[in-house]
Amino acid sequence: MPVQKLYNTLFEHYGPQHWWPCQTGKRWEIITGAVLTQNTAWTNVEKAISNLIAVDIMSPEKVLAVPDSELQELIRPAGFFTQKSAYLKEMAQFIREQEKHFIMSDDVWDLRNQLLARKGVGRETADSILLYAFDKPVFVIDAYTRRVGERHLGLNGKAAYDVLQKIFMDALGTDRKVYNEYHALIVRLCKESCKKSQCGTLCKELFS
């Protein structure tokens, strides 16, 4: 199935997803989630974010001001809390200094390289921040995208991140709203039917 057709099929079935899940609607919460979701389930990230919101630590300035030990305890549900607290602090300092530049700049790949230079930030995290926090046109590749790409698009799910990303971006043009919606639709499909072990009934109905 072509990349665009899969998007159309999923959107027709599910409708808009209003992604990224965010309690406060603030850019920093999205960035926090992108950092914390590494190597853990989103339900654990939600617990960590709820802890931060409960004590009003949801800005770069407040993250930088809180003692390391307190921050680590607050984000403990997300796992690897010692490392992730350090990553959050470095990101907080970076965003505090560069946020206006990131909002104004259209040089997506330069911005991406700047994020990748931060400790603990890989391609998926950087692209999630660019797409969801700063509305930049870059497509996010994650484990769900690889699974759907292999099963339903005939792609090599183990291909390099940038190779898969280029396939999607070449097929979809440069509409960041489509990138946002497509990734959200893929996530929903995988959670509901396109499981790690096998495809469920919905997959068979949509793609038979």
Write the CATH number for 102. 1.10.340.30
Question: Are 152 and 126 in a shared domain?
Answer: no
Q: Structural domain of residue 129, as residue ranges?
A: 27-134
Q: Which tens digit of pLDDT belongs to each residue from 129-167?
A: 999 999 999 999 999 999 999 999 999 999 999 999 999
Q: How many CA atoms lie within 13 A of 118 on its CB side?
A: 26
Give the number of domains in the chain: 2
Task: Say whether pLDDT at 16 is over 80.
Answer: yes
* End position of a domain, from candidates 119, 134, 149: 134
Q: How confident is the model at residue 62 (pLDDT cuts 50, 70, 90)?
A: very high
Nearest C-alpha neighbor of 126 from the set 142, 115, 137, 135: 115
* End position of a domain, from candidates 134, 160, 180: 134
Task: Say whether pLDDT at 10 is over 90.
Answer: yes
Q: How far apart are CA 82 and CA 68, in angstroms?
A: 8
Question: Are 45 and 78 in a shared domain?
Answer: yes
When the pLDDT of each residue in the chain is averaged and rounded to a whole number, the result is: 94
pLDDT at 19: 87
